[in-house]
Every structure is written in structure tokens, then in C-alpha cells.
Amino acid sequence: MHEMSLCEAVVEIAVEEAKRNGAKHIRSLVLEVGVFGHVDPDALAFCFSAVSHGTLAENARLVIECIPGSGWCLDCAKTVPMTERFGACPECGRRHVQMSSGDELRLRELEVE
């Protein structure tokens, strides 16, 4: 359950940004989570309510946006969708693909009041 410590980081960053912007409460948070990240979105949601208790983010809505995987195929010289880390190119079948998205773990925005 490393999602617990990730959630602590999420709440810490969110509260810091909210205070800096003079907000009294955080209504929602938008997280971007790549499909290849080491994170289970359900576990994140579960941990979030526990970790945010007693902070500006208490009762805030956690929106998790899954970022699909994609990579640059060196042989096809274009961006192709990826379904697994180090997976083969869906068009040419070779494994010369460098992952370009799918590893994100980012707090994108806050809705505050």
C-alpha cells in the first residue's frame, strides 16, 4: 500500500498550493495517473479520505484521470499506442518503442474556494 504515502504527498502539495492561493477549502483535486505507473487508482481513492482528514482537502473530490500509454516507434518513426511497458509496436510488431506517456503521477489542478 504505497498509495498511502503517495496520498500524503498529494495532500501535502495540494494544501501548500491552496494556502499559497489564500483558499479556505479544497473542493476537488485532479490527479493524472499513467497506466504504467506503480499506482492503483482505487487504492489511491481509499487512502485519500483517510489522509485528507483534518486538512484543507477534507471531503474534497478526488478525480483520477488515467493517462493512456504511448511511445515513439523508432522503426515506424511515429507515436504509437502502448498497452504494456516495453511492449511491441502495434503496427510493425518490433520492440523498438520508447515510452513517451503512461508513467505520469502528477497533481494537475485544484478547485478551491
The grid cell for 22 is 489564500
Q: How far apart are the first and last CA of the chain?
A: 31
Going by the DSSP 8-state scheme, the letter that residue 90 receives in this structure is: T
Q: Which residue number, 14 or 80, has a Cβ lying nearer to another protein? A: 14
**Smallest distance, Å, CB 92 to another protein?**
16
Question: Would you say 36 or 80 has its CB closer to another protein?
Answer: 36
CA diameter of the chain: 53
* Sites of contact with another protein (CB under 8 A): 1-2, 4-6, 9-10, 12-14, 17-18, 21, 23, 27, 31, 36-39, 84-86, 95, 105-113
